[in-house]
Structure 1
Amino acid sequence: MASIELPIQPLEATVKHRRAPAWLQATPLALTFVLFFLVPLVITLIVSFWDFNEYQIIPAFTFKNYAAIFDGCSSMTDVCVTFKTYWSTIKFCAIVWAVTLLTGFTIAYFLSFHVRSSGMQTVLFLVCTIPFWTSNVIRMISWIPLLGRNGLVNQALLSSHMIDKPLDWLLYSNFSVVLAFVHLYTFFMIVPIFNAMMRIDRSLLEAARDAGASGWQVIREVVLPLSKTGIVIGSIFVITIVMGDFLTVGVMGGQQIASVGKIIQVQTGYLQFPAAAANAIILLAVVLMIVWALTRIVDIRKEL
């Protein structure tokens, strides 16, 4: 009896047939993005054009909130409060970015090229996450017994006769704010840079050394260019977080240092939601411009 041979479909065709369409796979992420990002953003934009008084929010279209933000900024004799606040915020952001970049690059370089064992890399990488084992508030409060007038640092300096009186600028100052930011957010710079460095072909480093390049030349000519993607991603993380932070500035600055995030937090505390929404939209626009400038340096989509 003649046997009937059935056509055998290739395995790839079977898998392709069973695979869900691309739009169906992207639907859950798209819905999450729309629900938790686009919808709140649109609501914030709408509320920023509403009016308000001491008792209620009035859903009437007005530019009053934006006009109030830039009130007095047209004067050429003095800088308005808004520009001063943004300058203070950008100043903190630039200092924190520079310190975290230097620290994060150094730590990532050590973990990538000087720690040979993958197990030890994992252990040291977990050590970097220790600050995240507690909340931000506890991490900030832990600096107060160290940096206060009667803290351990001042007591040690007084005992060693290096100073005659306690240093007031260690706490509730620009220094303490920057220190807390670096403590909190350096890890966000380490992770993407470390990931970028781990993808570098080690033979390139060996070839550079064989060609007579010094250690600094290897870092400048090989490691740094190939780590640009991680540097840009880490910079975006740090800058976006610091620009909107109000808790660190309030606690470590002793409620005496102004920032854009702090203004928004105060306005929401006084139920001035339209004014806070207008400030949030302007802050978002400034952050997006910074992110756009960073992405002009490196095309992240192509590099990844």
Structure 2
Amino acid sequence: MSTHTTPTHAASQPAHTVKAWWQAAPFTAVFALFFLVPLALVLMVSFWNFNEYELIPGFTLRNYFAIFEGCGKLTDNGDLCVSLSTYLSTLKFCLLVWGITLLIGFAVAYFLAFHVRSPGMQTALFVLCTVPFWTSNVIRMISWVPLLGRNGLVNQGLVGAGIVEQPVEWLLFSDFSVVLAFVHLYTMFMIVPIFNSMMRIDRSLLEAASDSGASGWQTLWNVIVPLSRTGILIGSIFVITIVMGDFVTIGVMGGQQIASIGKIIQVQTSYLQFPLAAANAVILLAIVLMIIWGLTRLVDIRKEL
């Protein structure tokens, strides 16, 4: 019996391997066509030269040097160069938005997962959180203008209540309005993965912690947060990658007065400076990948999922 089964098993192994490769081939082709090929083109163009009229294929580091030209010393006012200041500004927005969305997203997900007992109510409240996504990002951003403008509802309320004598200027077209719009737009990207992780937590662990005398805060910090770290990581990756490359929100809510890397790339593209824009895109991608790499060192997503 053994002399017949062993060759049969060995012969069926290559066929199974070929079948698996055929199953993966369509996804591999889509990934290569829509991700690897465009990424390779951007990297290639970043080393090209250009002038006012044409792109000049070749290999040059001129674009990368031009981005950080003059950054070896401070300006006459004691500030950093434009490129470094813009990258730091983008990182500042990214850090602020990440922190605020994490706090709000964790709180909302915790409430839905542990304080709403009815599955039907959980679903209804979860769908309610997605209502803003039923309209476009631009419409949601513009909706803040009549609220935060100099003659908007917020300023009218503050002046009418006697809290301020004159309208507050920094409510719109400022860092505050940009961060507010980012939080409004992208908090849902933090809520969904954290909520999913919390729903997978075994409730008997919470009961065991309570029986052991742990307080609510101790249970939260020592049980719920560690078991929700996969959702926190995935949500963080979503928010960080979106904010780092966003230029529409900063342009609209910043009144075209606040710079970001995404905004610089958009401006360079509009002026047909494609190699310079590609070089900035490569640097931005490298920074985002380093941030993601640092986050994935904290949690092994493949083991947790």
SS at match of 1:21: helix
Counterpart position of 1:44:
42
CA 45–110 in structure 1, closer or farther in 2 if over 3 Å, else same: same
Q: Evaluate the alpha carbon distance shift between residue 257 and residue 120 of structure 1 in structure 2; reply closer, same or farther with a 3 A threshold.
A: same
Instruction: Give the structure 1 partner of residue 270 of structure 2.
Output: 269
Question: Which residue is equivalent to 2:21?
Answer: 23
Q: Distance in 2 between the 1:68 and 1:83 partners?
A: 12
Identity %, equivalent residues: 71
RMSD (CA atoms): 1.5
Cα distance, 1:91 vs. partner? 0.2
- How far, CA to CA, are the matches of 2:112 and 2:287 in structure 1? 34
Instruction: Give the match for residue 54 of structure 2.
Output: 56
User: Distance between the aligned counterparts of 1:58 and 1:256, measured in 2?
Assistant: 32
Give the deviation of 1:78 after TM superposition.
Answer: 4.7
1:28-50 CA deviation, whole Å, 9 max, x = no partner? 11111100000000000000011
1:43-95 deviations in Å (ceiling 9; x for gaps) = 00000011111111111221111010010112256522111001000000000
2:279 aligned residue: 278
Query: Which deviates the most, 117-126 or 147-156?
Result: 117-126
Identify the residue that residue 176 of structure 1 maps to in structure 2: 177
- Number of aligned pairs? 289
Distance in 2 of aligned mates of 1:18 and 1:49: 44
- Separation in structure 2 between the aligned mates of residue 267 and residue 41 of structure 1, nearest angstrom: 18
| CA–CA separation in structure 1 for the residues paired with 2:198 and 2:23 | 31
- Which string of whole-angstrom CA distances, capped at 9 and with x for unpartnered residues, describes residues 139-195 of structure 1? 000000000000000001111111100000000000000000000000000010001
State the partner residue of 1:116. 117
Paired AA for residue 275 in structure 1:
L
| 1:102 counterpart = 2:103 | yes
The TM-score with structure 1 as length reference comes to: 0.93
The change in CA–CA distance for 1:20 and 1:124 in structure 2 (over 3 A counts) is: farther
Give SS of 1:22's match.
helix
For 1:35, the equivalent position in structure 2 comes to 33
Runs of 4+ in 1 over 4 A off after TM superposition: 17-20
State how far apart, in whole Å, the 1-side matches of 2:22 and 2:298 are: 34
Distance 2:81 2:166 in 1: 37
C-alpha distance in 1, partners of 2:18/2:113?
38
In structure 2, stretches of 5+ residues that fail to align are 1-14
